[in-house]
Amino acid sequence: KKYVYLFEEGRADMKNLLGGKGANLAEMTNIGLPVPPGMIITTEACKEFYVNDRRFPPGMEEQVREKIRVLEEKTGKRFGDPANPLLVSVRSGAPVSMPGMMDTVLNLGLNDETVGGLGRAADQRFAFDCYRRFLNMFGDVVLGIEHAKFERILERYKERRGVTLDQELPAEDLEQVVAEYKALIERETGRSFPQDPMEQLFMAIYAVFNSWNNDRAIVYRKINKIPDDLGTAVNVQVMVFGNLGNDCGTGVAFTRDPATGARELYGEYLINAQGEDVVAGIRTPRTISDLKEEMPDVYQQFASICERLEKHYRNMQDIEFTIERGKLYILQTRTGKRTAQAAVKIAVDMVHEGLISKEEAIMRVEPAQLDQLLHRRIDPRASVKVIAKGLPASPGAASGKVIFDADEAELLGNQGEKIILVRTETTPDDIHGIVAAQGVLTSRGGMTSHAAVVARGMGKPCVCGCEAIRIDYEAGEFRVNDLVVKKGDVISIEGSTGQVMLGEVPLIDPELSPEFLELLQWADEIRTLGVRANADTPEDAAKARAFGAEGIGLTRTEHMFMAPDRLPIVQEMILATTTQERQAALDKLLPMQQGDFYGILKAMEGLPVTIRLLDPPLHEFLPNAEELAVEITRLRLTGGDEEELRKKEELLKKVRVLAEFNPMLGHRGCRLGITFPEVYAMQARAIFQATVQLVKEGVKVFPEVEIPLVGEVRELALLRQLVDEVAEQVMKETGVEFEYSVGTMIEIPRAALLADEIAREADFFSFGTNDLTQTTFGFSRDDAEGKFLHEYVEKKILPENPFIVLDQAGVGKLMKMCVALGRQTKPDLVIGICGEHGGEPSSIEFCHRIGLNYVSCSPFRVPIARLAAAQARV
Ligand code: PEP
Ligand code: MG
């Protein structure tokens, strides 16, 4: 079996076998770019390695040796040759990009003899510098010796010389560092450092295979939902050096700005530096435009390669390069990670440039990512106190408590605290802290530092390289000049400007960019699934409309009952002992409700508006029994007002009568309408009177009256009759005719099972998947998540939280059946969804597939739903 490929034997579409990095190196080699030669050990080999109890598959080693001979021929250098040694880098490369998660070894092939050869080819100091870096990386990555132990030795030499930078150490010091490093390795592992390059190579390959299952790689895969069984490939590539002097360097660049999407090269480099120095964020690098001045020829060549790569891959590329003695080498290219803003702009620009189709552009943007653009930012009119400014590494604003430690950030974040993780720099070991934080602030590192890349990927605000802040981990504080900010103090960061502010700051709603609007317009041309919004106020309705909602899929009328000026009247209605008393309270509520509906219907002129009649159990509108009992006791003890005491006692009695063991399965939804028809009648009248008012004003409206929690067709029949009667009365009283429809929510499995019967009485269905999930699983939607559901997901009993991502297997099966049964009775039955799932991309795709007419979600998710609906169609 072939386990090892030379770069020229591969192609870009062999990612699964060669890993992303390897496949792209192969592709670039074949289109003639300056790529140092190398080989790729396949992911197959890695998978077999794990099947074989972590042993290399038979034949692999021989193939590696064979390819090393090819590299020797190509370069005229030899592995282990003291005069002219071949040196290689060994890097992991999974099929899916996992930046910084796995291990890399550079300068492999150095030993006590070849270091001399390298010294003669370059210079002594350089050779020992490479050797000590190699010993350190090999020791850390392959032999598992803590990096800090190597650092301490180096620090000692720097202190002794009174210098701060590694480059300031002379050759003889580095030679001694090398000797100490070797002694350290021998002490720690009980054997001397392996001198044989071939042995070094196999140990490094072993370590890379092993790193597929290190903790941070496992965490990264879990967060990014990358399967655990892909395995990693290993890239072995001839070394080129960016640290041979001032005509050398190394850098990373994006073909477009990954934060804004602007069409210009965007990146950083360091002169006289090697490999990971740029990404590690230890020295703050220069921007790529400086290279234009510093090395104009190299810059021109690089710029034209960037353009070529972008055209070739038809996507924005993230490119690593090294300059060795004025000669440019490309070490990696991959599809660049980008913010939502950049994703949208690049996709739309590329359509205009003729590089991709509209459909491709639609697929290039992750709907969930759009959340970032729909998030709030700092109100520019607010007076904020900016205490420092760093690099705008990942857009969006966030406020939270300053925490310096990733573990602590995770702990507090999980308790619901808002956190800003503040570090000098982050490493892959901090990833769980970044996940838990609202935003990240670092004092060192550039736009491609770890913190910046990871935060952008997660859509979290990040300010990095903020050198004005000086962090003292031990004291648990950072200082900006004289200002001291302690752990737990609240700060805000604005990742699009790089600002750091003291305290919490006011935020405002986002605006949609022209590119975003254009993309959404294309989405609308493509999609067939309608998108409506859930909105309970005219303001929300207007916002939803501005975001492109094509109607309202759910107005929850109970929210209107909760308003402070209405609650007492609602309570009067509930506490009424006679029908007359109840009617008196309802008469007061009627004009208020009518006003509500008037506003919403008007905001949605020309579009359908689904208004749901009262749904929650009535005791939700009454005070808490325990608190009431305490108050009564207090009044009794203090001899308070008799009249008040009596009233409270009455109230408590009523609260106790209404209390239920299982309110979610209790007296709610249409069951309220059955027992208190006058409440539903009042609401229906309010809807129709508002409709008449608007019709008279010449406003076109389409009210859809919705009955919740139906499980039996006779429930719906009875209430529909009630609504129809009210409509008829209102028409008669006003002499105005109007259109309306009556339908039901599908929230109970029985309703889905008997949808053919229910459809007889319904003009439309709308899946209330919050309740339908609750009732199908028998999971309380209010308790399950905190109590056990997270463990279900952790233990992979369920793939996702079904209250967030629709359970297609179970709840979805009921929905599918319901659609089929409902349309068996009424082929044109309009069916939508208004549970939380209506704004979740994978659930939207499912809704498209089973033939729903529309999804309805919160106003802010409308653009996401428009895009997801278009993607479902492509
Ligand atoms: C539902 O149950 O999915 C729904 C939309 O109604 P509510 O969330 O108000 O119960
Ligand atoms: Mg419901």
Residue 236 to residues 92, 197, 753, 863, Cα–Cα distance (Å)? 9, 13, 60, 45
> What pLDDT shows up at residue 428?
73
Q: Which of 555, 671, 770, 837 to mutate to test the pocket of ligand 1 (most atoms within 8 A of CB)?
A: 770
| Residue 630 CB burial class (10 angstroms; 0-12, 13-18, ≥19) | exposed
Residue 747 counted as an annotated binding residue: yes
CATH number at residue 106: 3.30.1490.20
CATH number at residue 501: 3.50.30.10
Give yes or no: residues 676 and 772 share one domain.
yes
In the predicted structure, residue 51 carries a pLDDT above the cut 80 = yes
Burial 766-785, CB ≥16 within 10 A → b, else e:
bbbbbbbbbbbbebebeebb
Give yes or no: residues 716 and 592 share one domain.
yes
365 confidence band (pLDDT: 50, 70, 90): very high
> What pLDDT shows up at residue 827?
97
> What pLDDT shows up at residue 113?
94
In the predicted structure, residue 457 carries a pLDDT above the cut 70 = no
pLDDT digits (tens, 9 = 90+) for 188-235: 999 999 999 999 999 999 999 998 988 888 888 888 888 888 999 999
Which range, 448-452, 650-654, 720-724, has the best average confidence (pLDDT)? Answer: 720-724
> What pLDDT shows up at residue 102?
66
Residue 80 counted as an annotated binding residue: no
Burial 688-715, CB ≥16 within 10 A → b, else e:
bbbbbbbbeeeeebbbbbbbbbbbebeb
- Residue length, the chain? 874
Last residue of a domain, one of 238, 259, 278: 238
Give yes or no: residues 687 and 834 share one domain.
yes
Ligand 1 neighbours (beta carbon < 6 A) = 554, 556, 615, 747, 768-771, 834-835
| Residue 577 CB burial class (10 angstroms; 0-12, 13-18, ≥19) | exposed
Residue 769 counted as an annotated binding residue: yes
Distance from chain centroid for Cα 780: 27
152 CA to middle of ligand 1, Å? 60
Give the Cα-Cα-Cα angle 494, 428, 218 (nearest 5 degrees).
Answer: 120
> What pLDDT shows up at residue 275?
67
Is position 280 within any domain? yes
pLDDT, mean over the chain? 92
Break the chain down into helix, strand, coil percent, rounded to 5: 50, 15, 35
> What pLDDT shows up at residue 590?
95
Give the Cα-Cα-Cα angle 494, 497, 502 (nearest 5 degrees).
Answer: 40
> Which of 285-294, 368-377, 637-646 has the least mean pLDDT?
368-377
Last residue of a domain, one of 284, 316, 335: 335
> What pLDDT shows up at residue 822?
98
532 confidence band (pLDDT: 50, 70, 90): very high
> What pLDDT shows up at residue 394?
80
Cα–Cα distance measured from residue 525 to residue 522, given in angstroms and rounded to the nearest whole number: 5
Give yes or no: residues 676 and 654 share one domain.
no
* Ligand nearest to the backbone CA of 768: 1
Last residue of a domain, one of 173, 203, 238: 238
Give yes or no: residues 25 and 146 share one domain.
yes
> What pLDDT shows up at residue 279?
55
Count of structural domains within the chain = 5
Give yes or no: residues 300 and 415 share one domain.
no
Q: What would the mean pLDDT of 582-597 be, rounded to a whole number?
A: 94
Burial 810-820, CB ≥16 within 10 A → b, else e:
bbbebbbebbe
Q: What would the mean pLDDT of 538-543 be, rounded to a whole number?
A: 90
Give yes or no: residues 219 and 287 share one domain.
no
Contacts of 728 by beta carbon, 8 Å cutoff, 6+ apart? none
Is position 634 within any domain? yes
317 confidence band (pLDDT: 50, 70, 90): very high
> What pLDDT shows up at residue 425?
85
812 CA to middle of ligand 2, Å? 16
Give yes or no: residues 310 and 391 share one domain.
no
Q: What would the mean pLDDT of 609-634 be, rounded to a whole number?
A: 90
Q: Which of 664, 814, 834, 840 to mutate to test the pocket of ligand 1 (most atoms within 8 A of CB)?
A: 834
Distance from chain centroid for Cα 315: 21
Contacts of 204 by beta carbon, 8 Å cutoff, 6+ apart? 90, 105, 108, 138, 141, 142
Residue 448 to residues 113, 300, 323, Cα–Cα distance (Å)? 37, 22, 18
Is position 812 within any domain? yes
Give yes or no: residues 689 and 700 share one domain.
yes
- Annotated catalytic residues are 450, 834
Is position 758 within any domain? yes
Range of the domain at 402: 375-508
Measured from the Cβ of residue 428, the count of other Cβ atoms closer than 10 Å reads 19
Order of strands across the sheet with 286-287? Answer: 286-287, 266-271, 249-254, 317-324, 327-335
650 confidence band (pLDDT: 50, 70, 90): confident
Cα–Cα distance measured from residue 766 to residue 830, given in angstroms and rounded to the nearest whole number: 8
Is position 519 within any domain? no
Is position 64 within any domain? yes
Give yes or no: residues 447 and 478 share one domain.
yes
CATH number at residue 677: 3.20.20.60
Percent of the chain having pLDDT more than 70? Answer: 97
Is position 364 within any domain? no
136 CA to middle of ligand 2, Å? 60
Q: What would the mean pLDDT of 47-71 be, rounded to a whole number?
A: 96
Give yes or no: residues 819 and 683 share one domain.
yes
In the predicted structure, residue 350 carries a pLDDT above the cut 60 = yes
What's 630-679 look like in SS3?
HHHHHHHHCCCCHHHHHHHHHHHHHHHHHCCCCHHHCCCCHHHHHHCHHH
pLDDT digits (tens, 9 = 90+) for 119-167: 888 888 889 999 999 999 999 999 999 989 999 999 999 899 988 877 7
> Which of 4-13, 334-343, 848-857 has the least mean pLDDT?
334-343
Is position 482 within any domain? yes
pLDDT digits (tens, 9 = 90+) for 743-796: 999 999 999 999 999 999 999 999 999 999 999 999 988 778 768 888 898 888
Cα–Cα distance measured from residue 317 to residue 338, given in angstroms and rounded to the nearest whole number: 10
Atom of ligand 1 nearest to the CA of 747: 2
Task: Let me know: does 810 contact 777? Beta carbons within 8 Å.
Answer: yes
Give yes or no: residues 209 and 258 share one domain.
no
